[in-house]
Copies of this chain bind each other. A is one copy, B any other.
Amino acid sequence: MNIWAKRAALAVVLAGGLGAVGASCTNKAEQLEEKHEQGALGASADLKALMAARGLSEADVEAALKTYTPTGKKDEYLIFASGGHSGQVFVIGVPSMRELKVIGVFTPEPWQGYGYGDESNKVIASGGQGTHSFGWGDVHHPSLSETKGDYDGQFLFVNDKANGRIAVIDLQDFMTKQIVVNPLVGSDHGGAFVTPDTDYVIEGSQYPTPLGRDYAPLSDFKEKYRGLVMFWKFDRKKGRIVPEQSWGIELPPYSQDLADAGKLVSDGWAFLNSFNTEMATGGTLQGKPPIESGASQNDMDYLHVIDWRKGEQLVAAGKATTLKGIRVLPLGVAAQEGVLTFIGESKSPHGCDVTPDGKEIIVSGKLDMHATVYDFAKIKDLIANKKFESKDAYGVPILAFKDTIRGQVELGLGPLHTQFDDKGNAYTSLFLESKVAKWSIKDLKLIEKLSVHYNIGHLLAAEGDTVSPDGKYVVAMNKMSIDRFASVGPLYPQNFQLIDITGDKMRLLYDMPIANGEPHYAQMIKADKLKPLKMYTPAGYNPYTGGHDPNAVEGGKERIVRKGDTVDVYMTAVRSHFVPDQIEVNEGDTVNLHITSVEQAEDQTHGFTIDMYNINLSLEPGKTENVTFKADMPGVYPFYCTEFCSALHLEMTGYLLVKPKNAK
C-alpha cells in the first residue's frame, strides 16, 4: 500500500466530518496529503505510529477514546466510593476515572481544614464511644439518598465498621455534617443502606457482642452475645439523623453481613444475610480451629427477612425496651410478631441485593458456585400464612428454602455481590476467579464472564442498585493489583476497573489505581443530579451550623475584643491580606479566632494557619470558621494563607505575638 493510500486511510478516520470527504480514496489521499503539509492533520498522520510506539491494540484505542476526557469536558457520572480504613470517601468521575475529591469523614483532613476548627472538631468529637475518641474509621458502604427508590443527589451516608458509626455528608458542599454512634454494637457492616424514600438509614452489626458491649465471657456467647439491626430515622429538612426517633431489632449472635432495603413491591421490608450461624469463637492459641473453619461447618446460614414497617408499629406501640438510650425490639417479640423471619442461604454468603423491580433478592455464598434468586411474593405469602419449616435456637421462624426461591444460577468460584443494568441483566463479582459474571435474571442463564485484575470484591453499575439502573458502566473494585502498576512499595494500590456494558460483550476500558485506601462498596450517580454550591453567599456562612455565623464580620468591621484573659479576633480574609494582620496576646490567654472569607469569586479559596499552633483552616469563598486556642507558648508566630490565592499570596501573612508572663 503506497503512502497516499495510507494517508487517506488515516485522514478519513480523523477528518472533521465525512461529508467533506471526496468520492475516491486516492483523490482524497492527495487532498489530505496537501492538507497535512499545511499541518492541518498533524494528529492523523501520527496515529498509526502512536499505536506502534505505545503498543496499543485496536481495543486499546477504543478504550482510550471511550474514557479520555479532554480539558473542559466534564464527566457524565460520579462515583462515591468508601475509603475503607482511610476513614474517608472518594469522589471519582466516570468515564475518565479521575479522583475529583477526597471527603474528610471519620479522619481529620487538613487541606479541607476538617478536624482543625471548632465546628469540624465537634463533628469528629461527637463520634466518640464510651471514654474513647477516634481519629479514623473503617468506611464500608456508601448510600446515596433516594426518592422513590432512585438517587436524588442530596445526601450520602456511610458506616464505620470499626466503631459502629454512621456519617451524614451533605452533597451541597460535599462536607460531613454529622457522625452518629451506635452505643450497642461492636463492628457494624450491613450499612449504610437507605429505605426508598430515605426515611431510614439501615445499620446492621457484624461481630456479636453483648448489646451495649458490657463484659461477658465467651463461654456465655450464646446466652449473652447478640446482633442488632438499627433503623436510623433521617430528617431530610434538617439533613440530620434523629437518634431519638430511631430504633433497632435484637438479633441472634450470628455475624450479620450485608443488608439491602426492599423497594416498590417489597418496600417496607429489609433483607440482611449472615455467616457464622455456628457461633464459632475460635481459640487458635489453645489449638482450637480458627473462626474461618468453625464458621464454615453448616451448609446453610440464614437470610434475615425483616418487616420493618411492622417493627416500626410495634416500637411505636411501646413493645421496645430502651438500652443506652436506644429503643430495641427484643428478639422474642420480633420473632413472635413476624418482624423477623429466616430463610436458609448458601454458607458464608456475602452479597444480598434486591432487584430493581423489588420482586427478588439475590444472594451469593462465597463458598458456593451459585447465585440464589429469592422470590419476595413467595416469602411474603409464606410469612402471612405462617408456613414455617422450623425455628432456630432463638425461636426465629424459618421458611423452607425450596419454597422461597425461583432458582439458582451457576456463576463460578467465589460469587460475592450483584448489580443490575437496564436490560434485565445482573452482574456478579467472582472473587476467587477474578471475573465479572453477566447473567440473565429472567432466564437464570450465565451470558459471559470477563477477567478482572485481581480478586474483585464489590462491583457497581451506573445507578445499578436503584429502581432504574442506567446500564452503560460497571466498575470492578479489585482488592489486588499485583502486576498492574509501577511499583510503589509493599503496600499496593487497589484497582478499580471500568467496564463498558453497552455492547453485546463486556469490554474492559480502564484501570484506576486507588492510592489512599481500600474501598469496599461504591455507588455511581448521574453527575447532573447533583447541584453543589459554588460558594457560600452571602459571605459569613457557617457550613456546619448551616446558617450565617454570628461571629462573621464584613470588611471594615474587623476588630479585636479582649475580656479578661479571653481575646476574640474578628478577622476577614481577601486577596491578599488578613485584617487584622497583627495579633498580640499574653501568655495564657484564650484566643477565639473568627475568620470570614469575604471573597465572592468561584474557586477563590484561602487558607489560614499559625506556625507552631497546630491551627489550619480552609476558607472557601464566603465561609466563616471559628477556632479557639490557648496562647500557652510565648514567642513570635507568623500566620499566613495556605492556599495559593494570587500573585501576592506569599505576602498574605501576619504575626501572632504571645507576650511571656515574665515580660516587662
Return the CB mask of A483-520 against B: 1 if under 8 Å, else 0. 11111111111000100000100001001110111101
**C-alpha spacing A99/B602, complex, angstroms:** 26
One of B28, B136, B206, B580 near A616 (C-beta < 8 A): B136
Contacts of A136 in B (CB 8 A): 108, 110, 116, 614, 616
A58 lies within 8 A of B72 (CB): no
Query: For the complex formed by this chain, how many copies does it contain in all?
Result: 2
* A112 within 8 Å of B (CB atoms): yes
A215 lies within 8 A of B634 (CB): yes
B12 lies within 8 A of A9 (CB): yes
Contacts of A497 in B (CB 8 A): 71
**C-alpha spacing A602/B83, complex, angstroms:** 22
A614 lies within 8 A of B133 (CB): yes
Residues 1-56 of A contacting B (Cβ, < 8 Å) = 1, 5-6, 8-14, 16, 18, 21-26, 28, 41-44, 46-48, 50-51, 54-56
B116 lies within 8 A of A635 (CB): no
Q: Please, could you name 5 A-B residue pairs with CB atoms under 8 Å apart, sorted by A? A: A9-B10, A13-B13, A47-B62, A54-B68, A71-B453
* A132 within 8 Å of B (CB atoms): yes
A182 smallest CB distance to B (angstroms): 11
Contacts of A663 in B (CB 8 A): 215
Q: Given A1-B22, A72-B484, A78-B486, are A605 and B492 also a contact pair (CB < 8 Å)?
A: yes
A488 lies within 8 A of B290 (CB): no
A37 smallest CB distance to B (angstroms): 14
B162 lies within 8 A of A616 (CB): yes
Contacts of A491 in B (CB 8 A): 101, 112, 173-174, 605, 618, 620
Q: Given A8-B25, A612-B186, are A86 and B110 also a contact pair (CB < 8 Å)?
A: yes
Contacts of A24 in B (CB 8 A): 5
Given contacts A130-B633, A518-B643, 10 further A-B contacts (CB under 8 A): A18-B48, A47-B65, A111-B516, A134-B614, A173-B490, A187-B611, A207-B611, A290-B579, A366-B648, A486-B527
One of B10, B64, B209 near A12 (C-beta < 8 A): B10
One of B58, B292, B485 near A14 (C-beta < 8 A): B58
- The stretch that binds B, out of A87-95, A337-345, A369-377, is A87-95
* A566 within 8 Å of B (CB atoms): no
**C-alpha spacing A107/B481, complex, angstroms:** 26
Among A58, A457, A517, A658, find the residue whose CB has the most chain B CB atoms closer than 10 A.
A58
Dominant secondary structure at the A interface: loop
- Chain A interface residue count: which class? 35 or more
**C-alpha spacing A41/B61, complex, angstroms:** 12
A452 smallest CB distance to B (angstroms): 9
Residue of B nearest to A480 (CB): B603
- The stretch that binds B, out of A234-242, A326-334, A390-398, A530-538, is A530-538
A589 smallest CB distance to B (angstroms): 13
Residue of B nearest to A643 (CB): B518
Contacts of A22 in B (CB 8 A): 1
* A576 within 8 Å of B (CB atoms): yes
One of B56, B138, B285, B533 near A642 (C-beta < 8 A): B138
A-B CB proximity, top 8 nearest: A9-B12, A64-B68, A290-B577, A285-B580, A110-B136, A207-B638, A174-B489, A43-B58
Contacts of A73 in B (CB 8 A): 55
Contacts of A57 in B (CB 8 A): 16, 43, 70
Contacts of A62 in B (CB 8 A): 42-43, 46-47, 50
B10 lies within 8 A of A487 (CB): no
- The stretch that binds B, out of A275-283, A303-311, A351-359, A466-474, is A275-283
